[in-house]
Amino acid sequence: VALGGAPATRQVKLERECELRIEVAPDTPLRLRLLTGTAEIFGTEIAPEIWLTFPPRLKFAVFTWYGATIEMDGNTETDYTADETPMISYVNVHAVLEGRRNRAKASPSDVDLSQGPRVIVVGPTDSGKSTLSRMLLSWAAKQGWKPTFVDLDIGQGSITSPGCIAATPIEMPIDPVEGIPLEMPLVYFYGHTTPSVNADLYKVLVKELAQILERQFSGNAESRAAGMVINTMGWIEGVGYELLLQAIDTLNANVVLVLGQEKLCSMLKDVLKSKPNVDVVKLQKSGGVVSRNVKVRQRARSYRIREYFYGIANDLSPHSNIANFNDLSVYKIGGGPQAPRSALPIGAEPVADPTRLVPVTINRDLLHLILAVSFAKEPDQIISSNVAGFIYITDIDIQRKKITYIAPSAGELPSRCKLCMIPVRMVQGVLR
Ligand code: ATP
């Protein structure tokens, strides 16, 4: 330890099948490199000698199959070595999936046989679902496959901004620092971070996403054989469980990996026994998975939104734009005006249509909200359209009828109608 308590550069020797678990300090980044041997971070091999810089608060593990020496420079909140990990069981799953991909590739013209594994990862919050999804994708990509990653987690998703479900092909092992590359993901905007706000809308969006993916697969034998890895939410009770079953069904999952919960596993085995082509497999949760409380989750969401506009290392500069109120049509979905009581049969209670499109008047309530910019050309296409990206409203001038917003890139918003949707106020203050 150097003067002042700051740790100097230090080395850690890892034995075979061990991992170094790290939580980066809250305010300063950590530099790390591989000195000897081979090691990977969540399925992606790290190159020897090259320093990698990890942002504050990141939690990750460096795992080695055959032994390695790691050098660290900077502070950590915690770092320790673990010799007990579920990695062997995870890589065994990968090997089985690999076999199925090869079988699928060998029969490109057979509708059923040409379909590679469609893996869905389920389990309670903080069971390591996103991490396992990432490993399976990176291991597959390393072997030359281009599996599709589908992220149904609207709270802590890793493809784009929170509040969305999304899919994207993974063509290379996922970068341990940069995460999933944002090249044209297919994104549907739900606008809330819990599905219970409008579970019907969530179901509709999963269906839309599934339909588009199905269409893409039918024209692309390579991605069909590579299959998909689907990450889900940690909400597994009540409506959450119902949504899981819907996702398994709608996306035609044929491998269900259950992390860390016996009860969920046996429930799923029970309901899915009528589908002999669906395998339900229980996997152990890693002791390295870090639990996050509500506050930490909220903060993580805010950082992800910040990252969308400013980049992980603050290396992007979003563009500020000014538009007239007339240039923008803003809508929200669900919760709109209900049918008047007089229009209903006697005794019936009015119910809000969960997928009804409601126009939103532009006023100062929109300040500091994130809006999704839809590809839809007409309002009635909004629900079935994916989104091009997001804007953040920084000023509203009622007198001049001008709206100022930041967007990741300069220029016109994509659709001519400039339809936006309004989510809950989830990030107020973060971007200012
Ligand atoms: P959620 O239900 O919120 O989506 P999850 O089940 O997907 O959570 P992960 O996001 O995979 O859980 O893991 C939670 C946190 O623990 C993440 O920050 C992840 O980087 C970290 N983590 C996972 N595995 C390890 C490990 N072996 N060592 C250190 N950190 C880990």
- Ligand 1 contact via 385 beta carbon (within 6 Å): no
304 has a pLDDT exceeding 80: no
Quick one: which atom of ligand 1 is closest to the CA of 85?
Answer: 27
Q: Measure 151 CA to ligand 1 centroid, in angstroms.
A: 15
Q: Measure 133 CA to ligand 1 centroid, in angstroms.
A: 11
Which residues on neighbouring strands pair with residue 402, listed in sequence order?
A: 324, 397
Residue 364, pLDDT score: 87
Considering the chain, what is the average pLDDT of its residues? 87
Residue 289, pLDDT score: 93
- Ligand 1 contact via 151 beta carbon (within 6 Å): no
CA separation for the pair 194, 203 (Å, rounded): 13
- The mean pLDDT of 335-359, rounded to a whole number, is 66
Residue 412, pLDDT score: 59
Among 59, 229, 297, residue to substitute to test ligand 1 (most atoms within 8 Å of Cβ)? 59
Among 130, 133, 137, residue to substitute to test ligand 1 (most atoms within 8 Å of Cβ)? 130
Any binding-site annotation on 73?
Answer: no
Residue nearest to atom 1 of ligand 1 (CA): 125
What confidence tier does 411 reach under pLDDT thresholds 50, 70, 90?
Answer: low
Residue 265, pLDDT score: 95
What are the pLDDT digits (tens) for 283-299?
A: 999 999 988 888 887 87
CA separation for the pair 157, 192 (Å, rounded): 12
Q: Measure 48 CA to ligand 1 centroid, in angstroms.
A: 25
Among 58, 88, 126, 137, residue to substitute to test ligand 1 (most atoms within 8 Å of Cβ)? 126
- The mean pLDDT of 128-146, rounded to a whole number, is 97
- Ligand 1 contact via 275 beta carbon (within 6 Å): no
421 has a pLDDT exceeding 80: no
Residue 416, pLDDT score: 45
What are the pLDDT digits (tens) for 222-257?
A: 999 999 999 999 888 899 999 999 999 999 999 999
What are the pLDDT digits (tens) for 264-286?
A: 999 999 999 999 899 999 999 99
343 has a pLDDT exceeding 80: no
Residue nearest to atom 21 of ligand 1 (CA): 289
Residue nearest to atom 27 of ligand 1 (CA): 288
Q: Measure 289 CA to ligand 1 centroid, in angstroms.
A: 5
- Side chain identity, residue 308: Y
75 has a pLDDT exceeding 60: yes
- Ligand 1 contact via 133 beta carbon (within 6 Å): no
Any binding-site annotation on 127?
Answer: yes
Residue 333, pLDDT score: 83
What are the pLDDT digits (tens) for 41-50?
A: 999 999 999 9
What are the pLDDT digits (tens) for 210-220?
A: 999 999 999 89
- Ligand 1 contact via 21 beta carbon (within 6 Å): yes
What are the pLDDT digits (tens) for 360-387?
A: 888 888 888 888 888 888 888 888 888 8
Is 11 exposed, middle or buried (CB count within 10 Å of its CB: 0-12, 13-18, 19+)?
A: exposed
